Structure 1
């Protein structure tokens, strides 16, 4: 890469101050608003069943391009875009009666030895709102990692240098939080299993094996960035560290802290404990100055201090996500609790999570009438306010998606069998969003590869806005096509 252009690229993403939390909330509200309109079309008109070309185009427009437009063309008027999405959804909800789900006639079910297995499977149902939440987060991430290199993407959305909040800062934390949420499914299966829990050393070794692919990806990214002389923002994670290393080191450390649940059964408590200890170290020692302003030494720790120490914050975020997942994934029904009551419990649980994390964030990041700590958010440090902000935001997103599902698809959580559950969840889930969730990590990798190809092929800083939008639309169309193809071929690669 030309040295002068590389310097321009690095300056383009450096020394930024971000935007307000209110601004970020309004922009990201487009994702739930898009799902709201999709749900209104499907529940009232069965617009996406059968799934023809018109349904695919509308699905792509609502759940992919709306997010792209919110961060580019409509970035100065996100409220208008939300109104354009919410208004027709509200009209459909008020004027069209809901469609009754069709039930296929089924023969009487015979009792067999697999009944207990079926009960175990049904105790951890598929939640369309979780699929939607994960997919929307993935789409925002894929959009941002390429769009940030174009002038069509406002600088206020790019990662801040030291202190402040931005859309991309939230995206990094949300990626980790959502991984924590879905990790709770394996944890709950393990708890429900009648087989004894394996030895800690064996479980730790298994988690390390899970880390190897991510660490290899981190090494590949390091080699390609250095080998191609690719523009990089060193103060983001350090000289050698990257986000794949953060993801790769999470499994063994999560396993270590998982063993502490015997003493501290709440993942939220574990998360807050890590965040508090890390914040105390930042405030009471020279650690904060060492990370932010100390000259970069020759040793590996000094060269990669941002990535190494911010890992503590991301570990806390992952555990917070796992705590939320452990509360909302189980079906929750029993002989005395109906599906409606179980869903009400999920909504109450998510509401309490939002209030809990938001209150902690308010008192931690402001002076709160003289009682708060007044600590500024720092994604570079992944400090305590950042952990609390990410946890509050993602809990709120989950609550919104769950509310949309409950209002428009009230029967989806009332399935009585695996087959019935498959039919209901398929009707209530966008095909595009389901494909992005199915592809998971593979889509993220392909997005990174395409971002590199575009940046090495095109001088993105010199591209005008219409050209940039055309490139971004094609890029997201390619990713969507790959995701749909992977789902059809049943190819999976998830975190």
Structure 2
């Protein structure tokens, strides 16, 4: 009986074909519109400045509940939910004046306060990045459990070989956003002496060890508990933690290549292009898709070779991070419109999104390369799709921040700027972003617990939504709890 149910679960997530990019975009738009609604309520009404239980509930419903409902009950009519978010937000924004920032009560200065630098930080906190990464982690955590229920449409689950789906996009986006924030350490190092390659490799390996350990723990747990596996996702032994764990050393190597090709975007395209050539001009593609699983390499071929695609995605994320993390430099008053677009963060994001999108459609169009998207291969179109989607959505989040909180980066000192930035940041999204990988691990553990104790594929709509709502609440509680305890778990 248990084996029959396991086979049903495997069939439930196998041989799927996904959905259209337009459908995926309409569902994923709820992330940005929820952020817009939150930003309007905060900038116009200061609803979250005093974080009462009611404010926390509204924050949760907007940034967690809306994502859950978009991928389940509203999955067949995503624009209804989108309109329910955007229309009230536009009305409140248009009819209510901006509220003044609530400043914290003054306190006697301490010795550490007097020694602080009051100059502005070269790499300030950016609420729009926190918001986007937080919402991306939330939709990833929602999907990894929701996919096991029938209330989650099959078109959102990972495709078998070719096609696009919401969960396929989520995996790549997790890597892309990790690349965006990882470049912070590189930007800081640019002001000092360049660290030798050997030291960078040692440091990256130390960073990789916890992730690889988690990968081993997951592998052992899955095998010991006879947990349902989708072998064509990463292979028999490989999992997503191994992919994340092997990224840092290779990124350290590419920092040396940056001296030759001083552009993360170009480096990512070179890597993605070379990998695609290997797929198309050799027997590599056939080996990944249809070879028998006879040895360690062939048993884990999807995870091993798709790593090159994910590395390209990570580098593309670094290319975006390299110009969105630093402070916006002043624009001359006599600058032309072209100069304004080229020298502002929003303009650079828009141009980046446009270029990635054009490259993506060239790669898949009949008059271009004519290649199909494959998350299983992490091929060139998949890499370009992930870069296009994330660049565009980060640009949208920055536009929302600029519209609702235009004075964040106009503060006289970094203490005041930090306060303004925190005031413009959702506590729930901040908490998810702060301990993203640890929260993702907790979500994986809860997902395993639910699947081992409940017949998820046989549960009705109300039962499924009850379990999913409880799960999202538990994950959010862990995130907020860690933040309240001022705990940052670096994996």
| TM category, shorter | over 0.9
The residue aligned with 1:377 is 373
The residue aligned with 2:337 is none
C-alpha offsets along residues 303-348 of structure 1, whole Å, 9 cap, x if unaligned?
Answer: 100000000000000000001000111003359699xx79970000
The residue aligned with 1:7 is 7
Question: 2:180 and 2:78 mapped to 1: Cα distance?
Answer: 28
Question: 1:430 and 1:104 mapped to 2: Cα distance?
Answer: 17
The residue aligned with 1:128 is 127
After superposing the two structures, state which structure 1 stretch, 379-388 or 436-445, moved more. Answer: 436-445
In the TM superposition, 1:60-99 aligns within 5 A as: 60-99=60-99
The residue aligned with 1:443 is 439
C-alpha offsets along residues 382-405 of structure 1, whole Å, 9 cap, x if unaligned?
Answer: 000000000000001101110100
C-alpha offsets along residues 366-422 of structure 1, whole Å, 9 cap, x if unaligned?
Answer: 12xx3x011000000000000000000000110111010000000112233221022
Q: How many residues align?
A: 484
Conservation of the 8 A alpha-carbon contact between 1:162 and 1:378: yes
Question: 2:468 and 2:415 mapped to 1: Cα distance?
Answer: 39
TM-score (norm 1): 0.94
TM-score (norm 2): 0.95
Change (3 A) 1:334 1:36: closer
Query: 1:202 offset after TM fit, Å?
Result: 1.4
Question: 1:130 and 1:352 mapped to 2: Cα distance?
Answer: 18
In the TM superposition, 1:330-409 aligns within 5 A as: 330-333=326-329, 345-367=344-366, 370=367, 372-409=368-405
C-alpha offsets along residues 59-105 of structure 1, whole Å, 9 cap, x if unaligned?
Answer: 11000000000000000010000000000000011111111225679
1:235 aligns with 2:232: yes
Conservation of the 8 A alpha-carbon contact between 2:341 and 2:348: no
In the TM superposition, 1:309-324 aligns within 5 A as: 309-324=305-320
Conservation of the 8 A alpha-carbon contact between 2:180 and 2:318: yes
The residue aligned with 2:40 is 40
In structure 2, list runs of 5 or more residues that go unmatched.
335-339
The residue aligned with 1:209 is 206
SS at match of 1:123: coil
Conservation of the 8 A alpha-carbon contact between 2:268 and 2:312: yes
The residue aligned with 1:270 is 267
After superposing the two structures, state which structure 1 stretch, 318-327 or 431-440, moved more. Answer: 431-440
C-alpha offsets along residues 186-209 of structure 1, whole Å, 9 cap, x if unaligned?
Answer: 1111112x3x22221111111111
SS at match of 1:224: helix
Conservation of the 8 A alpha-carbon contact between 2:341 and 2:347: no
The residue aligned with 1:303 is 299
The residue aligned with 1:426 is 422
C-alpha offsets along residues 16-56 of structure 1, whole Å, 9 cap, x if unaligned?
Answer: 00000000000000011111111111111111121111111
Change (3 A) 1:209 1:179: same
SS at match of 1:373: coil
Change (3 A) 1:303 1:104: closer
Conservation of the 8 A alpha-carbon contact between 2:118 and 2:415: no
Question: 1:425 and 1:228 mapped to 2: Cα distance?
Answer: 45
C-alpha offsets along residues 157-200 of structure 1, whole Å, 9 cap, x if unaligned?
Answer: 000000000000000000000000000111111112x3x22221
1:455 aligns with 2:451: yes
Question: 2:9 and 2:413 mapped to 1: Cα distance?
Answer: 54
Question: 2:84 and 2:238 mapped to 1: Cα distance?
Answer: 42
Question: 1:92 and 1:494 mapped to 2: Cα distance?
Answer: 39
SS at match of 2:408: coil
The residue aligned with 2:285 is 288
Runs of 4+ in structure 1 displaced over 6 angstroms?
Answer: 104-108, 112-115, 341-344
